[in-house]
Amino acid sequence: EVGYSNSIALDNEGGVHVSYLYSMDHFVRNLKYAYKPKDGSWSNYTIDSTAHVGSFSSLAIDKKDGIHISYYDITNGDLKYAYKPKDRSWSNYTIDFADNVGLYTSIAVDNSNHVHISYYDDTNHELKYATDITIPSAPQNVNATPGDSKVMLTWDAPTSDGGSPVTNYNVYRGITPGGETLVKMVGNILNYTDTGLDNGETYYYKISALNSMGEGPQSNEVNATPFALPKEKSIFEEIWLWIFIGIIVIAFIVIAFLLRMKEV
């Protein structure tokens, strides 16, 4: 039996790509793939022949003409995935092996060449989703600078955005090491000023990044202690100070003059 669970897609050059199930009997089923260039003839390949595999295949072509196939491993009850970059060989991966998963797969590749797979979890009777996008790594080089009743925080972007742009950052604050809780979510900016703090109190901070997949790990902890700035004298205080100094100087001059006159 040839052709069950088939899926078709065209590449940028008009080539035709088909994934399908090849069954020799009820115990051996393989995932197969057929390709026909726009002006050429068909070629057939076996992509996975490990026992009972290839049902519910779904095929997609990325913008670089890489080939992506999701499919079901009946023997192990797993969701599997095969990938072939243009002009290179195939690689096979097990994506989900929890219970009996991977039925009725559907695959798509976005404009950034990230893979998205929807499939059915037969054990829990749930729709599931898999992607190669991950959460971002932790922000780098976090710095805390104290001020009067405030702390100015700066940081660098994560070394990895997980394949999806960072959209926000979470700022965590605590008054004990490791005791931070969320105080603010900011946008895709690399600084935040925490205000309304008590001078003389030490505050501890951590920062995390978020993308479309969720929140990444928190950064290294930093701390800072706000302090009161010296009070600046007003212009009137400055004037009265100079008047007072002038009066003292004049008084000394008058006293010195009177003492000299008395001696005479």
In a shared domain, residues 34 and 126: yes
Q: For residue 185, what is the domain's CATH number?
A: 2.60.40.10
Instruction: Give me the number of domains the chain comprises.
Output: 2
In a shared domain, residues 72 and 120: yes
Numbers of helices and strands, H then E, in the chain = 1, 19
Reduced to 3 states (helix: H, G, I; strand: E, B; else coil), residue 251 is: helix
Q: What's the mean pLDDT in 103-116?
A: 94
Q: Is residue 118 part of a domain?
A: yes
Q: Give the integer Cα–Cα distance in Å for 106 and 206.
A: 39
Q: What are the angstrom distances between the C-alpha of 63 and each of 3, 31, 97, 165?
A: 26, 23, 29, 20
Q: Is residue 239 part of a domain?
A: no
Q: Give the integer Cα–Cα distance in Å for 174 and 197.
A: 11
In a shared domain, residues 114 and 214: no
CB-based contact 82:92 (threshold 8 Å): yes
In a shared domain, residues 190 and 98: no
In a shared domain, residues 163 and 90: no
- Check pLDDT > 80 for residue 230: no
Model confidence over 17-52: pLDDT tens digits? 999 999 876 667 899 999 999 999 999 999 999 878
Q: Is residue 247 part of a domain?
A: no
Q: For residue 35, what is the domain's CATH number?
A: 2.120.10.10
**Which pair of structure tokens corresponds to residue 241?**
């100070």
How sure is the predictor about 232, in pLDDT bands with cuts at 50, 70 and 90? low
Q: Is residue 150 part of a domain?
A: yes
- Check pLDDT > 80 for residue 125: yes
- Check pLDDT > 90 for residue 96: yes
Q: Nearest-CA neighbor of 53 among 88, 17, 20, 85?
A: 20
28 compared with 198, residue with greater pLDDT: 198
By percentage, how much of the chain surpasses pLDDT 70? 95
In a shared domain, residues 98 and 126: yes
Q: Give the integer Cα–Cα distance in Å for 156 and 137.
A: 11
Burial class (CB in 10 A: 0-12, 13-18, 19+), 107: buried
Model confidence over 128-145: pLDDT tens digits? 999 999 999 999 999 999
Reduced to 3 states (helix: H, G, I; strand: E, B; else coil), residue 34 is: strand
- pLDDT, residue 32, reads 95
- Check pLDDT > 70 for residue 68: yes
Which of 57-66, 198-207, 234-243 shows the lowest mean pLDDT across its residues? Answer: 234-243
- Check pLDDT > 80 for residue 264: no
- pLDDT, residue 243, reads 84
Q: Give the integer Cα–Cα distance in Å for 208 and 211.
A: 10
The chain-wide mean pLDDT, for the chain, equals 92
In a shared domain, residues 46 and 146: no
> In the listed set 108, 131, 154, which residue is the last one of a domain according to the structure?
131
In a shared domain, residues 115 and 172: no
In a shared domain, residues 54 and 75: yes
Q: Is residue 56 part of a domain?
A: yes
In a shared domain, residues 207 and 86: no
Q: Is residue 92 part of a domain?
A: yes
**Which pair of structure tokens corresponds to residue 249?**
């100087």
Domain hosting 12: range is 2-131
Q: Is residue 148 part of a domain?
A: yes
**Which pair of structure tokens corresponds to residue 93?**
């991966």
In a shared domain, residues 44 and 119: yes
Q: Is residue 253 part of a domain?
A: no
Neighbouring-strand partners of residue 148: none
Predicted TM-score (pTM) of the model is 0.68
In a shared domain, residues 113 and 33: yes
